Amino acid sequence: MSVAEFIGDEVSAAGYRLCGVNAHVANGNNVVDLVKQACERASLVLVGSNVVEGLNKQELDELLANTEPPVLVVPDVRGLTEVPDITARIHKQLGMLE
């Protein structure tokens, strides 16, 4: 079992590979499949923010609901895409008003 796996764009994946992380380049069509495969092999799955923007809200919610292993969205290296707001997501899941 690998410690962590990254799924994202080519540039970010190259940086993660230099750090010793298994990295996979995703396009808009294979993100969900790559994350599910990584969840079977790794203890932590990191997904680039630029590849999750193509997912619908339900797909993203299902991926981020994983707790074993945790699936986290990380900023892309170019800073072009924002990371989804986790605070609002947690408030909604807990039924808290803003």
Question: Encoding tokens for residue 30?
Answer: 């294979």
For 55, other C-beta atoms within 10 Å of its C-beta total 18
pLDDT by residue for the chain (98 residues), tens only, comes to: 678 999 999 999 999 999 999 999 998 788 889 988 999 999 999 999 888 887 887 888 888 877 789 988 888 776 666 666 666 666 666 777 65
Scanning the chain, the segments in alpha helix (DSSP H) are: 10-18, 31-41, 49-52, 57-64, 86-94
Looking at residue 15, its pLDDT comes to: 92
Looking at residue 92, its pLDDT comes to: 67
Q: How far is CA 78 from the centre of its chain?
A: 16
* Domains annotated on the chain, with CATH: 5-94 (3.40.50.10580)
Positive or negative, the CA dihedral 76, 77, 81, 86 is positive
- Name the β-bridge partners of 25: 8
